Structure 1
Amino acid sequence: MHIGIDVGGTNTDAVLVEGSRVLAGVKTSTTEDVSSGIDAALAALADAHPFEAGHVRAVMIGTTHFINALVEGRRLAPTAALRLGLPATASLPPLVDWPDRLVQACSGRPYLVHGGHEFDGRRIADLREAEVVAAARDMAERGVASIAVSSVFSPVSAEFEEQAADILARELPGVPISLSSQIGRVGLLERENATVINAALRLLADGVVAGLDESVRRAGITAPLYLSQNDGTLMDVERARAYPVATFASGPTNSMRGAAFLSGHTDCAVVDVGGTTADIGMLTRGFPREASTEVEVAGIRTNFRMPDVLSIGIGGGSLVRGGGHDSGGHGGPVTVGPDSVGFRLTQRALVFGGDVLTATDVAVAAGLADVGDASLVAHLDASFVAAALARIGADVAEVVDRMRLSAEPVRVVAVGGGSILLPDELAGVGPVERPENHAVANAIGAAIAQVGGEVDRVFTVAPGQRDVVLDAAKSEAVDRAVAAGADRSSVQVVDVDEVPMAYLPGGATRIRVRAVGDLVLDALAGAR
């Protein structure tokens, strides 16, 4: 048996899965400290389907801890950004495009030293140890608690980043160091930004991961704990401590993977309507379509693995205004969101005795949901309720239309507790399916997640050598998946992307390969 848990802005969901069967699924409120919400979810799961803790072979968690910390600018470690690139890149120093509030939140300090490589592995300049030592000593004086190291074209050659990390570790023992070659893709500023974000979250990650582990142990479960990554695969707790940035989009990704599992569709649009937002993405071969360009997170451009997802402020806790029915008595057109009462839904919504008109109140008034006290929304006009639901359907249809790649009708799978707000057909798009257990699809996506490995760098492809280079890249991706804990016999290459870089000499081609496989649970459990 596996347990999957997904911590959202409003709800914490948990499921118990055995093979391809969902034995039980529960939905509880997310708490401010998150851990107590997980405790409640595990207790509710045991009540819904009693199980022996010793029979649980793995627990998979998707969490919003780290993306929330960045967005809110809270609990970020004092961070240094050391770039190996002089004499190049000096005109755009590290942190140059960061919002001022986040630079201040992480006490960000940029450093530039000599180093870096060309696209084909030739050195721009040799690394100068004295410069790195001087930077390290300045960091120590200024109270730096975490370091991000980036180098020009380090995905091609990580040589200088690794040398710099050795020097920093010697000068600043115990200070965590994040290397851009292990986090981002080709593209210096975006890769560097992702690495600085990761470094700023490293100290928080230690506490968060320990707290999640304690929640699981308090339930008597001794099975290994894994966290969901942005691409729908898993990482163990040690990797989660080192790479917290890899969890940022785990919520939408889990929902999409869960939608594929529940519906049996591997290519479709997925609309996940939660308590705060609706996340819309496209499934391709059972995995979320990844963003092909940089992704902006909290106003910072990054290029690490992220699903191509658009989010809008529509969910069960969204505020409904207009028509004279909201708490302010506003007339005019009916609007839904983007603001939400979030995890305070059970205190603020009308059906729970609150004073705010939410989308959940509209759903209850329309007979789509049976929660709270329906008599408290009996005064809502039928025309107003219909207008609010129509607004939700139109807003979601518009986003799905923006996400699809052709004018052909697209299959839409709706998941999440708030999916009851959607019509049976989205105008101009197609019919909407709601599979069984759709309300906890995000937790199911976590429970069924696999292990992945990826290669993304620039290769020199000589004439007649394309197949040889591709085979080598695929083999490396498979090896990385196995190293991450996948059963080699189950690993499959699920994505191959080639982009010839015509503006560079020597047949330079950016090749990205992703491989995934089933987690080897017994071996890892025995190693705990």
Structure 2
Amino acid sequence: MYKLGIDVGGTNTDAVILDDHQKVVAHTKTHTTKDIQTGISNAIHEVVQASQINVQAINQAMLGTTQATNAIVERKNLGQVGVLRIGYPATASIIPYTQWPEDIVQTLSGKYSLIHGGYEFNGDSLAPFSESEIRDIVAQWQGQVDAIAIVGVFSSINDDQERRTAALVHEILGADFPVSVSSEIGSVGLIGRENATILNAALFKVIQKVTVGFSKALQVEQIQAQEYLCQNDGTLMSLDYSEKYPILTIGSGPTNSIRGAAYLSGRQNALVCDIGGTTSDIGALVNGFPRESSKAVSVGGVETNFRMPDILSVGLGGGSIVRKQADGTITVGPDSVGYAITERAKAFGGDTLTTTDIAVRLGWVELGDPSLVADVPLADAQQAMAVIQEILETGIDQMKTSAEDVSVILVGGGSIIAPKQLTGVSAIDTNQYGGVANAIGATIAQIGGEFEKMYQYVEIPREQALADATKLATERAVSAGALADTISVVEILETPLSYAPGETTKVKVKVVGNASLN
């Protein structure tokens, strides 16, 4: 029994095969291609050839992809979305798409309608819910939108109006018409939750291309395996589940690296620095999983409040361009040669000085032809390395939660440019497989499920509320592909809301389980 894991980054597409003891059998690093699909196929082919195993023995395949993120950032391949906000007239002062970049609003059509209904923070009705309004609007939008986002005021307290609206949409437009429901996507807070739900609806077409392409790439190699996509909390989901919640793939790349770093180092708590070809992603490993961001996260210029890993990205990678300014100072990045490093970097015969060339010049690594960087003054190389060190130390300080020195796990193909010692760091862990930690993280992941809701402990006893949230998180994990009898709770968070009556508490439960081997 073997597992195949692939992670697509901005510069490289990595692949690994692990055996049933979680040991690396083979690994490869290939260039990411413009069409993404070719890079995935190349990586799968190379790692299968390197492993020399019978592909029929591969029973699970996992993919971490940047396709959803890229589609939002580049405004490409997104679907036309209609937004139904249930909360008129109380929410009319701030309409959907407020503070969105104009170009993405136009790409998504900008269609929205405010519907009577919604709830107060204590569960009382804001206004009578109007099914007739929904029927009229949805009928008008037929043929004009590819998906519909449904957002109800305080649906985290009561989501029955959102669910009824979804049923009406399916009744009018068909059972398979894509619908995103905000109570399943974002957290407390109307606008951030609405924004995340709209983006999720816009990504349905994108994720379908990803899943179809992934399946075809496996078929070419005659691999018949259970297929999964990586979520951004360090867990997996089935392809069917990902097609309902494509936004959960955003941020899965850095998360995979953090999970892979935990596996390679044996640590459960540390900072992880993943240095790629273009950027360095710094995140925190807490109890074996990435620390979740506690603040709103902007995706392509759109502020959202759905779960995201707490990641700091800085413009430093193995392909970052090094320049000497007129005053003699050295600058590093943030621009990079990216996946063209083997063509443009000096050590490989190119004409662009990169951070990798600096590492070669200082004798830290044997890559390319060292004689091609011999003309780089040693003083310049040392100054460039001092800049690299400062960038990393500053980033690590920003991610610390105290002034004490921390342990850092160093991974990523660009980690060859990192100094062996850093101020504020007590120890640096490295591993021979650190260059493909992201693919390893994808491969070792379990199926995850998460549920969040506000409960009033005066009306629902705390034990009953926690049991309910755990049950619903478990149902989501099973829907995502987990075996029910393997589910375990990994996190329970309770956040009292002091301004709300009845001991109102936001409860969030995360569970994980094993994937089916069938």
Structure 2 equivalent of residue 400 of structure 1: 396
Size of the alignment, in residue pairs? 515
Q: Distance in 2 between matches of 1:251 and 1:431?
A: 24
Alignment of 1:507 with 2:503, yes or no, is yes
Q: Secondary structure at the match of 2:406?
A: coil
Letter in 2 for 1:203: K
Match of 1:280 among 279, 282, 286: 282
Comparing 282-291 with 314-323, which one deviates more in the overlay?
314-323
Using the TM superposition, give the Cα deviation of residue 489 of structure 1 relative to its aligned residue in structure 2, in angstroms: 4.2
Q: Contact 1:401 / 1:429 at 8 angstroms: preserved in 2?
A: no
Structure 2 equivalent of residue 167 of structure 1: 168
Q: Distance in 2 between matches of 1:238 and 1:475?
A: 21
Structure 2 equivalent of residue 146 of structure 1: 147
Q: Distance in 2 between matches of 1:511 and 1:362?
A: 50
Structure 1 equivalent of residue 265 of structure 2: 263
Q: Distance in 1 between matches of 2:88 and 2:214?
A: 42
Structure 2 equivalent of residue 53 of structure 1: 55
Comparing 8-17 with 314-323, which one deviates more in the overlay?
314-323
Using the TM superposition, give the Cα deviation of residue 264 of structure 1 relative to its aligned residue in structure 2, in angstroms: 0.2
Deviations 1:158-177 (A, max 9, x none): 21112111222233235421
Q: Distance in 1 between matches of 2:332 and 2:118?
A: 50
Structure 1 equivalent of residue 493 of structure 2: 497
Q: Distance in 2 between matches of 1:385 and 1:51?
A: 44
Deviations 1:377-413 (A, max 9, x none): 1111112112212211211111111111112211100
Which residues of 2 match residues 267-416 of structure 1 at below 5 A? 267-322=269-324, 330-416=326-412
Q: Contact 1:424 / 1:433 at 8 angstroms: preserved in 2?
A: no
Using the TM superposition, give the Cα deviation of residue 131 of structure 1 relative to its aligned residue in structure 2, in angstroms: 0.9
Structure 1 equivalent of residue 454 of structure 2: 458
Structure 1 equivalent of residue 156 of structure 2: 155
Q: Contact 1:120 / 1:458 at 8 angstroms: preserved in 2?
A: no
Comparing 16-25 with 457-466, which one deviates more in the overlay?
457-466
Q: 1:243 to 1:465 in 2, by over 3 A?
A: closer
Q: 1:331 to 1:3 in 2, by over 3 A?
A: farther
Q: 1:306 to 1:463 in 2, by over 3 A?
A: same
Match of 2:132 among 130, 133, 154: 130
Q: Secondary structure at the match of 1:512?
A: strand
Q: Contact 1:64 / 1:251 at 8 angstroms: preserved in 2?
A: yes
Q: Distance in 1 between matches of 2:464 and 2:37?
A: 49
Q: Distance in 2 between matches of 1:104 and 1:340?
A: 31
Q: Secondary structure at the match of 1:256?
A: helix
Structure 2 equivalent of residue 33 of structure 1: 35
Q: Contact 1:119 / 1:458 at 8 angstroms: preserved in 2?
A: no
Q: Distance in 2 between matches of 1:482 and 1:386?
A: 53
Using the TM superposition, give the Cα deviation of residue 444 of structure 1 relative to its aligned residue in structure 2, in angstroms: 0.0
Using the TM superposition, give the Cα deviation of residue 510 of structure 1 relative to its aligned residue in structure 2, in angstroms: 0.8
Q: Distance in 1 between matches of 2:343 and 2:149?
A: 42
Structure 2 equivalent of residue 327 of structure 1: none
Give unpaired runs (5+ residues) of structure 1. 324-329, 523-528
Using the TM superposition, give the Cα deviation of residue 267 of structure 1 relative to its aligned residue in structure 2, in angstroms: 0.2
Structure 2 equivalent of residue 421 of structure 1: 417
Q: Distance in 2 between matches of 1:367 and 1:15?
A: 29
Match of 2:106 among 104, 110, 117: 104
Give unpaired runs (5+ residues) of structure 2. none
Q: Distance in 1 between matches of 2:463 and 2:166?
A: 35
Q: Secondary structure at the match of 1:357?
A: coil
Letter in 1 for 2:239: V
Q: Distance in 2 between matches of 1:83 and 1:481?
A: 28
Q: Contact 1:320 / 1:335 at 8 angstroms: preserved in 2?
A: yes
Give % identity.
45
Alignment of 1:17 with 2:13, yes or no, is no
Q: Secondary structure at the match of 1:510?
A: strand
Q: Distance in 1 between matches of 2:169 and 2:486?
A: 39
Q: Contact 1:79 / 1:146 at 8 angstroms: preserved in 2?
A: yes
Comparing 282-291 with 355-364, which one deviates more in the overlay?
355-364
Q: Contact 2:459 / 2:502 at 8 angstroms: preserved in 1?
A: no
Letter in 1 for 2:128: D
Alignment of 1:446 with 2:442, yes or no, is yes
Using the TM superposition, give the Cα deviation of residue 518 of structure 1 relative to its aligned residue in structure 2, in angstroms: 2.0
Match of 1:62 among 61, 64, 78: 64
Letter in 1 for 2:173: L
Letter in 2 for 1:89: T
Q: Distance in 1 between matches of 2:327 and 2:7?
A: 38
Deviations 1:29-58 (A, max 9, x none): 000111111111112112322111110010
Using the TM superposition, give the Cα deviation of residue 482 of structure 1 relative to its aligned residue in structure 2, in angstroms: 3.3
**Structure-1-length-normalised TM-score:** 0.94
Q: Distance in 1 between matches of 2:327 and 2:9?
A: 32
Using the TM superposition, give the Cα deviation of residue 137 of structure 1 relative to its aligned residue in structure 2, in angstroms: 2.9
Using the TM superposition, give the Cα deviation of residue 146 of structure 1 relative to its aligned residue in structure 2, in angstroms: 1.6
